[in-house]
Chain A
Amino acid sequence: MNIRTWTVVSAFVAVVLAGAPFGRAGGDVPKIVIEEALSIGTIDDDLLYQLTGVAVDSDGFIYVLDGMDYSLKKFDAGGLLVGKTGRKGQGPGEFKAPRLLDCSGSRLFATDQNNPGIQVFDRDLTFKTAIPCRSAVQAMRALGPDKVAVLTMRALGASSLQVLNAEGTLLSELSFADPKAGLLMDSASFTALPDGSFVIAYLFQDRVERWTAEGRRVWSRAVLGPKKVPTTKMDSPLGSLTLPTETCFHDIAADSRGRLFVLGGRMAKNAARDVFVLDADGRLFTTFTLPDTSHCLVIDGKDQLYVRANEGITLKKYRMRYE
């Protein structure tokens, strides 16, 4: 066999192997079609100024944190504003830079970029308590009405995923990050699965990983392909720092089938619009593209998708249909 034949055969094998992890031939790749079911907020109304966090309860009520008017808003399933609380401040029920929101049972959990800890509200938006947290929270999931998982942010040293009770007591800690990876490289979002495991999507690395609650990595996948995250050098009192400048993944959520929906960042082909759907083993199931850019992605109990639109003045709800 001559070199040319070897090259052709090698290329063919490479193509077959490259497709193998997805387990599908080109013709039967499943497709997800999204259909708009609800839109909240337009340029002309006063409903949303800057959506930062979204959560949906088991009755279909939608809760939104608004970063421009420091509020927590409640909408019914039809998009009618039925409650609002919060104002600027650092006291109970107040916000300076509201960011993350999640719901479990009768409780809502809200974080603030500039106030440490987690504020807990009931579904009538009444402030109930605050869960103390030593470090700033960069990602959060409610695991129950009195238990929350947080991914903390640390200036020095690796981040970790901590499970806290309502008093802020550390119940368990998952050290997932590589301390040698570099500054900010362990920034991530995550979702919690019913079996207690976590799936982590890195902000500045093309990696999605599933970890058991006991700290064992089940799998690790690259999704975006052979792209290197660009970096920049910055002088600081600590010396020259290398910082990533483009994001890989913005958010991750799981549907009722255990499929993982990972929202691509600026490194994706369609920045902040491409959604990569992985199965529970991390194999790419399919992809689809949102009509508008989003920084967050939430899936409710009916597998409806909630994302941001119009730079945060609109919340969109989509039905997802498999074809």
Chain B
Amino acid sequence: MNSRLVAWVAVAAVLMLTAVAGMFPASPVQAEPAPVARGAGNACWVLMDFDAFSCGLCLDALVDFCRALPQTVQERCVRGILACRAPQGKEAAARQAGIIAKKWNGFRKANDIRFPVFIDAGHLFAAGLGSGPAVLLFDENAGTIRLYPLPLRPAQLEDVLAILRK
């Protein structure tokens, strides 16, 4: 796993831990094992680097993954994150967000992609830029997150689909 993938996982882990912390408000310490995240359901984040919009193979890998997902799964438990570099100045940031949204809209329509996508306006995922598209799989039963760089191998795709269909 290269350093950028590690960075993706680290950022995701921080966000996950933050979410977990939010689910369990402060309470008196008890001598029991801390529970892992429950109730949020299995989920999948598709991480996409805006720079990869000019990479045909990266886009192909993303489309192939999306096509393998049933529409109901896409809409129910898949979310996309578009990471981008921090521009200089508020005006540039607004312009960049508009450009990214427009490009994604054209790509989404041409490829019938159904899951909602969020632009990483705070640049939380900037550390992972340049590593290509990837999937973060949140497995509720196992209490784990796993990172899969796209394109997925057939066995990996089966794993992801099996968990998302649960």
Contact = CB atoms under 8 A, between A and B. Distances in A.
A66 B110 CA distance: 11
B56 interface: yes
B60 A46 contact: no
Interface stretch (B19-27, B98-106, B148-156): B98-106
A68 B56 contact: no
Interface of B: 53-54, 56-57, 59-60, 63, 95, 98-99, 101-103, 105-107, 109-111
A43 B102 contact: yes
Contacts of A44: 98
B110 A69 contact: yes
Interface string A290-323: 0000000000000000000011110000000000
Contacts, number: 52
Nearest to B107: A68
B107 A97 contact: no
B142 to A, nearest CB: 34
Nearest to A43: B98
A50 B55 CA distance: 12
Interface of A: 43-44, 46, 49-50, 66-71, 87-88, 96-97, 113-114, 310-313
Contact of B56 (A69, A97, A311): A97
A50 B103 contact: yes
Contacts of B57: 114
A259 B29 CA distance: 78
B110 A70 contact: yes
Given A68-B107, A69-B106, 4 more contacts: A43-B95, A67-B56, A97-B59, A313-B99
A69 B112 CA distance: 11
A317 B104 CA distance: 25
28 contacts: A43-B99, A44-B98, A46-B105, A46-B106, A49-B103, A49-B106, A49-B107, A50-B103, A67-B56, A68-B53, A68-B106, A68-B107, A69-B110, A71-B110, A87-B110, A88-B110, A88-B111, A96-B56, A96-B60, A97-B56, A114-B57, A114-B60, A310-B99, A311-B103, A312-B103, A313-B99, A313-B102, A313-B103
A97 B56 CA distance: 6
Nearest to A50: B103
A88 B112 CA distance: 11
B102 A49 contact: yes
A70 B108 CA distance: 12
A68 B110 contact: yes
Contacts of A113: 56
A44 B95 CA distance: 11
A181 to B, nearest CB: 25
A113 B59 CA distance: 12
A235 to B, nearest CB: 12
Nearest to A68: B106
B121 to A, nearest CB: 15
Contacts of A69: 106-107, 109-110
Contacts of A50: 53-54, 103, 106
A310 B107 CA distance: 17
A263 B126 CA distance: 29
Contacts of A311: 99, 103
A46 B63 CA distance: 21
B99 A68 contact: no
Contacts of B63: 88
A114 B111 contact: no
A120 to B, nearest CB: 21
A312 B54 CA distance: 10
A46 B108 CA distance: 13
Contacts of A43: 95, 98-99, 101-102
Contacts of B59: 97
